[in-house]
Structure 1
Amino acid sequence: MITIHHLGVSQSDRVVWLMEELGLPYELKWYHRKANRLMPEAYFALHPAATSPVIEDDGRVLTESAVILEYICHTHAGGRFTVGPDQQNYADYLYWMHFNNNALGLFFASLALGSNPEGETAPLVKELLRRRWDGYYTMLEQTLGNTDYLAGDELTCADFMTMYDVVRIIPSGGKGLDDLPNTKAYAERIGARPAYRKAMEIAGPEAKPPA
């Protein structure tokens, strides 16, 4: 059985969502963040990369969301929710599978810059971030104006990867879902899925570990 090492308020909730969609059994182990919001030492000990999420499966320890999602789908679900090179939407699938890293990079850069940046390079960095955020908003709106899901008309791992960003990262760039009608409709479509709702109850940002 797959064990999901769940760090509270983290990207590991997307792995729980996948398992619920697939109907696969799993064990969820909770880890609380420290008072400074960083992960506890016990989580650092799980994997040398010291990042969340982390899963264990038959003695193998894996990290990185995109790796984990594809691994689970291919080894336990016959490739469900994945897209192969011979399919027409493969390039779209690849783009949105890796969008998460770009969005997180912008989020942390914006966080480091702060609301009142100083220094010689601050205006340039601020302009660069604004341009990148606007580009991502445009990509989301254009894509979701043409298809129900990011890689086409069906749910894929690209949606498991990107929904976290849509809800928690994208608003950091200055626009909320109310400013992005196609993206908002997408978030509502995903939010209505029973497996997604259950995953958020179990491991979402407002979830509490079982007593």
Structure 2
Amino acid sequence: MITIYHLGVSQSDRIVWLMEELGLPYQLEWFDRMPNMFAPPEYKALHPVATAPTIRDGGKVFCESLAIVEYIVNRHAGGRLGVAVDAPNYADYLYWLSFSNSLMASVMAVMASDPNTTDPMRAIFAKASADRVALYFNHLNLRLGESDYLAGPEFSAADVQNMFALTTMPKFGGPSISHLPNVVAYVERISARPAYQRAMAIAGPEAVRPEA
């Protein structure tokens, strides 16, 4: 059985969601953040990088949500929520699956920028990051005006990968999506999924550590 090492308010909630969508058994081990919002030493001891999500499957412990999602879909779910390599939308699936990493990196860069900096290079970087997020969000909005889901007509792991930047990050100072009607409708559509609702109740940003 897969163990999900869940760090509170982190991208590890997407792995809980994936498992709920697939109906696969898992064990959840919860770690609260420290007052400075860093992961506690016990979480950092799990892996040399110890980013969230981190999972264990047998003797293998590894991080990186993109790798974890592909591993679960292909190793444990028989390809469910993935797209076959000979499917017409396979390239779309790969693109949107990996898009989440670029989107999250740009969102984090905007959140870390100092709008009052007097350092000209930092100001250039902050402007470039904001422009990049705007491009990514507009790209999402266009895509979701032509397709109900990112990889095509069916819900897939690509959707699981991208929701965090659109839902949790704005709660903590990330860019808003309110000006993007297709993205807003998409978030509402995804948020209505029973598996998503279960996962957010278990490990979402408002969830709390279950009582022992």
TM-score interval for Structure 1 and Structure 2 normalised by the shorter chain: over 0.9
TM-score (norm 1): 0.94
Equivalent position amino acid for 1:18 in 2: L
Contact 1:103 1:169 (8 Å CA) reproduced: no
Equivalent position amino acid for 1:114 in 2: D
Stretch moving more, 97-106 or 14-23: 97-106
Residue 41 (1) aligns with residue 17 (2): no
Q: Distance in 2 between matches of 1:209 and 1:123?
A: 39
Question: How far 1:127 moved relative to its partner?
Answer: 2.8
Change (3 A) 1:146 1:67: same
Equivalent position amino acid for 1:183 in 2: V
Q: Distance in 2 between matches of 1:128 and 1:142?
A: 21
Contact 2:4 2:27 (8 Å CA) reproduced: yes
Note the residue ranges of structure 2 that are not aligned, 5 or more in a row. Answer: none
The aligned counterpart of 2:202 is 202
The aligned counterpart of 1:64 is 64
Could you say what the CA RMSD is over the residues aligned between the two structures, in angstroms? Answer: 1.6
Q: Which aligned pairs between 1:154-169 and structure 2 lie closer than 5 A? A: 154-169=154-169
The 3-state SS of whatever aligns with 2:178 is: helix
Q: Distance in 2 between matches of 1:111 and 1:131?
A: 13
Question: How far 1:162 moved relative to its partner?
Answer: 0.2
Q: Which aligned pairs between 1:9-158 and structure 2 lie closer than 5 A? A: 9-158=9-158
Q: Distance in 2 between matches of 1:126 and 1:69?
A: 31
Note the residue ranges of structure 1 that are not aligned, 5 or more in a row. Answer: none
Change (3 A) 1:43 1:173: closer
Contact 1:20 1:196 (8 Å CA) reproduced: yes
Question: How far 1:12 moved relative to its partner?
Answer: 0.4
Q: Percent identity?
A: 50
Q: Distance in 2 between matches of 1:9 and 1:184?
A: 21
Contact 1:96 1:151 (8 Å CA) reproduced: yes
Contact 2:97 2:158 (8 Å CA) reproduced: yes
Question: How far 1:122 moved relative to its partner?
Answer: 3.5
Equivalent position amino acid for 1:146 in 2: E
The 3-state SS of whatever aligns with 1:177 is: coil
C-alpha offsets along residues 86-134 of structure 1, whole Å, 9 cap, x if unaligned? 2211222112111222122222322332221221223422331232112
Contact 1:17 1:199 (8 Å CA) reproduced: yes
Change (3 A) 1:177 1:131: closer
Question: How far 1:74 moved relative to its partner?
Answer: 1.1
Q: Distance in 2 between matches of 1:168 and 1:33?
A: 16
The 3-state SS of whatever aligns with 1:10 is: coil
The aligned counterpart of 2:181 is 181
The aligned counterpart of 1:191 is 191
Contact 2:51 2:64 (8 Å CA) reproduced: yes
Q: Distance in 2 between matches of 1:24 and 1:108?
A: 31
TM-score (norm 2): 0.93
Aligned residues: 210
Q: Distance in 1 between matches of 2:107 and 2:178?
A: 19
